[in-house]
Structures are given as C-alpha cells and as structure tokens.
Structure 1
Amino acid sequence: MSIRHWPAAERPREKLLDQGAAALSDAELLAIFLRTGVAGRSAVDLARQLLSEFGGLRPLLEADLESFCQHLGLGPAKFAQLQAVLEIARRHLAEGLRRDSALESPQAVRAYLKAQLRHAHHEQFACLFMDSKHRVLAFEVLFHGTIDGASVYPRQVVKRALAHNAAALILTHNHPSGVAEPSQADRQLTQRLKEALALIDVRVLDHFIVGDGEPLSMAEYGWV
C-alpha cells in the first residue's frame, strides 16, 4: 500500500509535523529524504531495506559515491542532496559556535567537532581557532594521516594561529577505530603544541578526541 493511503498519524511527513523530527525512526526520517519508493515498496519499506544493507544510518551517511549508488533507489542526485544536507547541518553548528564564547557552550563544541570529524575514515588533526573572548574564528583540518596516525608539525599550527590572529585554540583529532582514548603519543603531542604556542601567547584550551561516542576532553582529565 502506498504511504498516501496510510492513516495520517502513521505517515512520516505528517508525523514529523505533528510530533517533531525526534519522534521518527531512522527509517521514517530516511523515507522523507527518499520521497518515493520503488515498484512494490513504499518509501518506508525501501528505507528499512537500505538501512539493513548499509548496516545502519551512520554507514549510509558516510558512504562514498560509488558504494552509495550501488543500492536500489539511490543515485548521484540523491548522493548530492545528502551531502548538501550534511554540510548544512555542519554549518548550522558552526554558526551557533560563532555567536557565543566556545567555553560557555561545551556541548556545542563537542557536537560541532563530532560532526566535522567522526565520519572520517583516516585520522585528521584540526584546530578551532578563537579570539581573546573565546569566540570561534575558524576551524581548519591541518593534517591528514593514515588510519594509524597523523604527523603533526607544531610550526604549521603556530603559522595558522598567527594567520588567524588567534588568542586561543582547541586542538582536536579523530580516532577512526571509534575508541576516543588518548595514547601516550597524543599526550606528548599536546604538550609539545602547548609549549610551541605559548611562545606566541596563544593558549591551548583543550584537546578533544573524536570517536564513536562523545568526544573526549583531555582538559577534563588534567592532560592539557
């Protein structure tokens, strides 16, 4: 049966308008994005099939173009739409950070860094540059590594901090394994960067490690 013949309370779009997006299942949200199903299957049925084939919503969102387009009901146009939606979400989080002091919104910082780095299949090291009032000036991925690690050069971090006229910054990198536990190398790197940035009067406020759960704050453990 087509979705338009379902009771209004069960149709994903009407349910979202009545109860809010949080009330919908992953399949219902994906069905709204898909808009239509395929022969013999409603958009919700197709969404459930896709979630099963990909292994969940996250692998679907992180799929590259080639693997995305191998599935029924998906193609380059849908891939482009999905990437646009994800980028809109990232920019929305960034605008929220720029309005206020980053230190007054620790959860917003975590959400933003998670949105930026959790999807990466290889390790990336980035900085959130801030002014003297801890308002965000810019976010930059400075180093790309392999799944085993990244080479981070303090001189380049100092150079970018000067370019942004930053007074403070937050360091961050992802662990593609999903485990957000800092290694001894992570702690040593943090100390090296603190010492290098102190020479130009730029404070390192924190170093977040992004994994599958909430990003880990090294400052909260006394490691910054």
Structure 2
Amino acid sequence: MKLLPKESMPREKLLSHGPQALTDAELLAIFLRTGTQGMNVLALSDHLIKEFGSLRKLFSADLSSFCHHKGLGVAKYVQLQAVLEMTQRYLAEALQRGEALTSPEQTKLYLSGLLRDKQREEFFVLFLDNQHRVICGEPLFQGTIDSASVYPREIVKRALEHNAAALILAHNHPSGIAEPSQSDRRITRRICDALALVDIRVLDHFVVGDGEIVSFAERGWI
C-alpha cells in the first residue's frame, strides 16, 4: 500500500470521502492489507474479484475454494468470517433492540444478508409486538434445493407462544431468482388467513434472490 500514490490509497480515500466512495477492489484491499510478490494489494484485490466473479462470491466461498487462490489463506478466511458475522450481528441488533420497525430497507438488508447465500430454501419469521417492535426472529422451515414445506399451523403456534401481534415472513430462492412463484403466493394467503383467525397480521413477505429482494406488500399482495 505504501508504494501506491497517496491519492489512490484506499485508506486515505475512505477517510477523505467515506467508505461508499470506494470500489469493491479498494474495500477488499483495505481488508487484505498487503499484496503478493509482483502484485500490489489493489491489483491483487481486483484479480481476486475477477477470479471469484464478484465480491459477494468471494465472501461466500468455502475454506478450500478461498485458500486455493494466491494471496489468501486460513488466517484471512477466519478474519473474513469474523467480519461477516459481526456485520450480521450488527444488523440483527439494530432490529432486535426493542425499537419499532420504521425502515423497510433496513429489514430488507437484514433478511437479505441472512438468507441470500443459503444453499437450501429457508423460511424465516420475524415476530413483532403490537408496536411493531421485534420480539425475535426464527427460521421455521428448511427445504430441499428448490422448495420448503411450510405449515401455517406451526407459524400460528409459534406466534401465540411469542405473544406476537404481527409477523414479517421471508424466504430465499436458491436459484437466485427472487420473483415469487404462484405457490409462494398461495402459501402466503393461507398463512395470512390462519393468523387472521387469532387476530395476528402479516405485514410483509420478502422473497430473497441473488441480487434483489421482492416485497409482497410493495406488490400490493398483502
């Protein structure tokens, strides 16, 4: 990093303009800190992102795939996993500190980070009180590579156990395509109808794909 012109050094750029001004390669360079023989850290970062296909794919790589690349190793893998877990816990804490949910975008960000890279379909529920504060969140159902068996009765049971007044549903599509299927819409209607019998509302159902997340509420389906 010290061999780079000051105006191109990621740390200085971040301090001057904020992290949002950095490219993916520049952010990764700050994490890696050093390059390899014959390749400075920015060049290495750019090379790795191209090799993996994206920053996200690099982050979701398993230990073997990660360490297979020059400039990466077990220590970097452990460090990266710790950073990712801290990020997830930060987002979870922002939702679960007892404050009312006022930002759909923050909820999307949390659910996307939680579900996007799952290899199998997972159905997740956020349980809320009557002021729309998060009581807790639970993965209730897990499926095969392309489906999950979802039982409305079990959701009602858990909602009553938590004394929830409202719910937010979410599940991922391992295919990467976030567009809800007809079966997604049917099961959502069944869940809404079942919960309505005990006076519990479903505020939204998010479907998480590779690069997007679809909201049933925004589509007018809830």
The reply to whether TM is greater than 0.5 is: yes
Q: CA RMSD in A?
A: 1.6
- The equivalent of 1:47 in structure 2 is 45
TM-score by length of structure 1 reads: 0.91
Q: For 2:125 and 2:81, locate their aligned partners in 1 and report how far apart those are by CA, in whole Å.
A: 23
Q: For 2:77 and 2:172, locate their aligned partners in 1 and report how far apart those are by CA, in whole Å.
A: 24
Consecutive aligned runs of 4 or more in structure 1 exceeding 3 Å deviation = none
Task: Report the AA paired with residue 181 of structure 1.
Answer: E
- The equivalent of 1:153 in structure 2 is 151
Q: For 2:194 and 2:33, locate their aligned partners in 1 and report how far apart those are by CA, in whole Å.
A: 52
Tell whether the 8 Å contact from 1:110 to 1:214 is kept in structure 2 after alignment. Answer: no
Asked if residue 87 in structure 1 is aligned to residue 76 in structure 2, the reply is no
Mark the runs of 5 or more structure 1 residues left unpaired by the alignment.
Answer: none
Q: 2:214 aligns with which of 200, 213, 216?
A: 216
Q: 2:117 aligns with which of 110, 116, 119?
A: 119
Identity %: 60
1:190-205 → structure 2 map (5 Å cutoff): 190-205=188-203
Task: Report the AA paired with residue 79 of structure 1.
Answer: Y
Q: For 1:194 and 1:78, locate their aligned partners in 2 and report how far apart those are by CA, in whole Å.
A: 45
Q: For 1:23 and 1:221, locate their aligned partners in 2 and report how far apart those are by CA, in whole Å.
A: 32
Q: For 2:141 and 2:75, locate their aligned partners in 1 and report how far apart those are by CA, in whole Å.
A: 31
Asked if residue 172 in structure 1 is aligned to residue 170 in structure 2, the reply is yes
Once the two structures are overlaid, the 10-residue window that deviates more, 41-50 or 159-168, is 159-168
Q: CA deviation at 1:51?
A: 0.8
1:54-65 → structure 2 map (5 Å cutoff): 54-65=52-63
Q: CA deviation at 1:124?
A: 1.1
Q: 2:34 aligns with which of 30, 33, 36?
A: 36
TM-score by length of structure 2 reads: 0.92
Task: Report the AA paired with residue 95 of structure 1.
Answer: E
SS of 1:4's equivalent in the other structure is coil
Mark the runs of 5 or more structure 2 residues left unpaired by the alignment.
Answer: none
- The equivalent of 1:128 in structure 2 is 126
Alpha carbons of 1:53 and 1:166: their partners in 2 closer, same or farther (altered >3 Å)? same
Q: CA deviation at 1:196?
A: 2.2
- The equivalent of 1:4 in structure 2 is 2
